[in-house]
Structure 1
Amino acid sequence: MKVFINPGHDKIHDSGATNDILGIRECDITYVIGALVEKYLNNVGIETKNLQSDNLCNDTNYNDRPIAVCDLANNWGADLFISIHCNSFANPAANGTEVEVFSFNTQAHKLATCIQNQIVNSIHTTDRGVKEYPSLKVLKHTVMPAVLVETAFISNMEDAKKLIENKDAIARAIARGVTDYMQLN
């Protein structure tokens, strides 16, 4: 099993969502979670690649072209692709965990369900479920089952504190979600 891990955003070009009150950025949270997911998957014999990426492309036809991180995962021959993010919304009451897939009733949907259940049960976030997002580039341009994990809302104070305090628990939950998925197949 080969898993490509993509902590969302990057520290230079696009830090992603922020919580200025707590002084945290999405790119920093996802970087740590991604590294821990990689460690836990490697510990059980799963081969990984980990690339934090701003998901940008210099091509002017960006909307119709696979992004670089997808190309890397596809060319490496990954069996699974996991992009890790923190959600954000203008209304600070929005909270919870969701995992996004290209389409339902697929292997990605099975993987997403396993990861969703593990995170919600581990850090006790609101279960926002698995959502279908066929327009997301990392889901659209990957050839293997791919999920985008919205761990919790960085814009919600309670969720943001969980992101700060539970990075290891979130990473363990994502890794357990992968192993749960493997047991189904």
Structure 2
Amino acid sequence: MKITINGGHYPGRDSGAVGPTGLQESDVNCDLMSRVANYLRAVDCDVLEVQENTLSQITDASNRFGADLFISIHCNAAVDTNAKGTETYCYELGSDSEKLAACIQQQIVSSIGTADRGVKTGNFFVLRIANCTAVLVETAFISNKDEEILLADEAKRDQLAAAIARGITDYLSLG
């Protein structure tokens, strides 16, 4: 099984969202990407980690790799600093992508205890252009002070990465 893990945004060029204490989304996503990849490699998946500056570089790398699955990892942000929770996006409901999104969403919410914002559809470039089953995970709101603390905690990030990896393996077990 070939799986692309994309850590959203690009450290040093595109920080993504920035939390109240200055935690940068790109740094969190880079760490989560590496941790998820390591968990998947431990169960014999062939994993490509990709964190590039442009969306086309990301999808081109994944498509060249011949990925069967594509998972883009992000931290959410909102003007309302009380917004919280996890949501996972697929391009189309009723698809294999929705099934993968549901597996990942369920594992994160049950393992980490974040608010369940559900599986949603999104017209994101990486979901449209990836030549495989693709999802985008919004792990937690970096703009929320409590969730920023969760995202800054290495042990919690490891739990989050393990939950994403379990969601992927849950999906693979569906056959």
Q: Give TM-score, length-normalised by structure 2.
A: 0.96
The RMSD of aligned alpha carbons is 0.9
Deviation at 1:160, TM superposition (A): 1.1
Partners of 1:95 and 1:152 in 2: CA distance: 6
Q: Which runs of 5+ in 2 are unaligned?
A: none
Deviation at 1:99, TM superposition (A): 0.4
The equivalences for 1:26-45 within 5 A come to 26-45=25-44
The equivalences for 1:19-58 within 5 A come to 19=19, 21-56=20-55
Partner of 1:16: 16
Superposition misfits of 4+ residues, deviation over 3 angstroms: none
- 1:103-159 per-residue CA deviation (whole Å, 9 max, x = no partner) reads 1111110000000000011110000000101x2100010110000000000001111
Partners of 2:50 and 2:61 within 8 A in 1:
no
The equivalences for 1:165-176 within 5 A come to 165=153, 166-176=156-166
- 1:43-65 per-residue CA deviation (whole Å, 9 max, x = no partner) reads 01011000112335xxxxxxxxx
SS of corresponding position for 1:54: coil
The one-letter amino acid of 1:171's match is: A
SS of corresponding position for 1:86: strand
Instruction: From 82, 95, 118, give the equivalent of 2:107.
Output: 118
The equivalences for 1:95-110 within 5 A come to 95-110=84-99
Partner of 2:151: 163
Partners of 1:123 and 1:162 within 8 A in 2:
no
Partners of 2:110 and 2:77 in 1: CA distance: 21
Q: Give TM-score, length-normalised by structure 1.
A: 0.91
Partners of 1:114 and 1:177 within 8 A in 2:
yes
Deviation at 1:90, TM superposition (A): 0.3
Partners of 1:118 and 1:78 in 2: CA distance: 22
Partner of 2:72: 83
Deviation at 1:96, TM superposition (A): 0.3
Partner of 2:168: 178
Partners of 2:18 and 2:149 in 1: CA distance: 13
Q: How many residues align?
A: 173
Computing the radius of gyration from Cα coordinates, the structure with the larger value is: 1
Partners of 1:99 and 1:131 within 8 A in 2:
yes
The equivalences for 1:118-157 within 5 A come to 118-133=107-122, 135-157=123-145
